[in-house]
A and B are shown apart, each in its own frame.
Chain A
Amino acid sequence: MPLRRNGLKIGDIEDRPDGGMGSTMVRGSGEGPHTIDWRRSLAARNARTRGRRHHPVFRIRDELSPRWRMSLTLVGLVVPLLIWLFMATSGSATVLVPSPGAALESIGRMWNDGTLTGDVWASFRRILIGYAISMAIAVVLGVLMGSFRSAESFLEAPIAFMRYVPATALVPLMLFWLGIDETPKIALIVIGSVFFNVLMVADVVRNVPKELISAAYTLGAGRLRVLRQVILPHSTPGIIDVARINLAAAWAILVVAELLAAEEGLAFRIVRAQRFRQIDDMFAILIIFGIIGVATDLSLRWFRNRAAPWARP
């Protein structure tokens, strides 16, 4: 375009023989030849090859061969184990670290004398009841908030406020109000997770495409049918993911509750082990926590894929 405006034609542009590769000359009409030396330009930098391909390990968002994936996973497991071994052998007098073998032995001993099953069940039961209540509340309030602007306006402020009150700060109050049996622990699990769950479920529900809801209405569905047959099914995988992500917060608050008052439970066992300076046992319980966490995470993922195969990645 600018060429034509200057009264030049395409034929006026020619490769200049002495300019070498990439050099172009425009035959001028009055002010002499204009030469553009492409060789100095940025594009000339990659003159030898076209583009660049990095090793798969360093590519952004690219597939990796199963062999690489397996090996890297293995390395990710072995390295922490090596660090642990190193710390166990070179541990100082103040920072005592048991060997992995000792921790495993400890798990075996607790399994044999029956305390392990008792503690796991005690803690797991609290989580199961508390978190079920929390999710039930979250689904009801979250679906309401995500579907009705009125519910959102009404609930947003108090829930946002409660979310920023650390649940751990409520532990003394709960113990004071509800005593030291199971009730305060379950209540704390509910309080510690429900506000996060509500807001995140509301977000999942808000992400149901408007067109799906509109389509349902034009097909004759009423609001109840839209809620039950469009909003709920579309939100199901998202809600399960919310449950999965916030479960860790529920465990954290349970530990605090058990540390203060309990006769049974995994965190209670850690406190006891500390009292008797049984570092092997403390490590054993930490491993159990990790195993339970990974197991629940995997089963919730599996459940999500079962419940909503259409949303499988």
Chain B
Amino acid sequence: MAAQTIIVRPEKLEVRGLVKRYPGRRSRPGTLAVDGIDLTVRAGELVCIVGASGCGKSTLLNIIGGLEEPTEGAATVDGHRVVGPGPDRGMVFQGYSLFPWQTVRENVEFGLKAAGVPKSRRPARVDALLTVMGLGVWADQLPRALSGGMRQRVAIARALAPEPDVLLLDEPFGALDAQTKRAMQDHLLEVWRRTRATVVMVTHDVEEAIYLSSRVYVLSSHPGRVAAEVPVPFPDDRTPRIKRTPEFGELVEQVEAILIDNR
């Protein structure tokens, strides 16, 4: 409740003039993956980035995460320039990236151990996260015993454990079937409302982007640039019902048109 009454939300994450060129090998020219991207995300906001396959979405997210170096420009979190990965920016990857030798509980615990949280205080925090993500019963299973949707829930729980300032999601539901995906979207909204984390999510599903976010950045392809920034006028406490409203349909069409124009 209190969070909604805050009107001026400070800028949490800024990306300025970001260029990423992958060097070529031998005589082959390099790839200009991202060419001058600017974006701003305020604290507590959930922003989506959509774009065609190969337009540089993962590259952008990896640079914000500090896993790759930009060729030009920079990302800043709270005004501090990103130079490497750190627990202040949690990430969920496009593929499954759980540690296969660790149980669900141990996976979620990983970040707490790295942060030096004493052993006695870890179980309570892990349990709380598992409950929020609906994973309680699976706590002692290995990832290979879980379905795709459950694995991504573990990945989100694991990323949330160190209480990051910014949560970066790279097509987290891309590999899921339509039904599981819908459930996961509501799950994510629920978690976001509770934690008020700043979330940047990459997806190529326009409907998903509009349903989840308060703003959608549409990227053009080859090289990746911001083609449009589309505000989403729905309230934060939205329900799946808005998907059937005409405004929602229009917005989807509008974004899809921008995507087609910038292919």
Contacts and interface: CB of A to CB of B under 8 A. Distances in A.
Contacts of B144: 310
B138 interface: no
A212 B97 CA distance: 5
B99 A218 contact: no
A171 B158 CA distance: 54
A122 B94 CA distance: 54
Contacts of A220: 86-87, 111, 114-115, 162
A12 to B, nearest CB: 35
B67 A214 contact: yes
Interface in A275-313: 308-311
B30 interface: no
A217 B93 CA distance: 13
Nearest to B100: A310
Contacts of B89: 218
A216 B110 contact: yes
B91 interface: yes
A310 B106 CA distance: 14
Contacts of A211: 93, 95, 97
A75 B91 CA distance: 55
Nearest to B65: A218
Contacts, number: 69
B97 A217 contact: no
Interface residues of A, number: 21
A214 B142 CA distance: 20
A310 B110 CA distance: 17
B104 to A, nearest CB: 12
Nearest to A312: B144
A88 interface: no
Interface string A212-236: 1011111111100100011001100
B111 A219 contact: yes
A219 B87 contact: yes
Interface in B124-140: none
Contacts of A229: 110
B99 A219 contact: no
A308 B85 contact: no
Contact of B67 (A217, A233, A234, A309): A217
Interface of A: 209, 211-212, 214-222, 225, 229-230, 233-234, 308-311
Given A214-B62, A218-B66, A309-B142, 11 more contacts: A209-B97, A212-B97, A212-B99, A214-B65, A214-B97, A217-B67, A220-B86, A220-B162, A221-B114, A229-B110, A234-B100
Interface of B: 62, 65-67, 84-87, 89-91, 93, 95, 97, 99-101, 110-111, 114-115, 142, 144, 158-159, 161-162
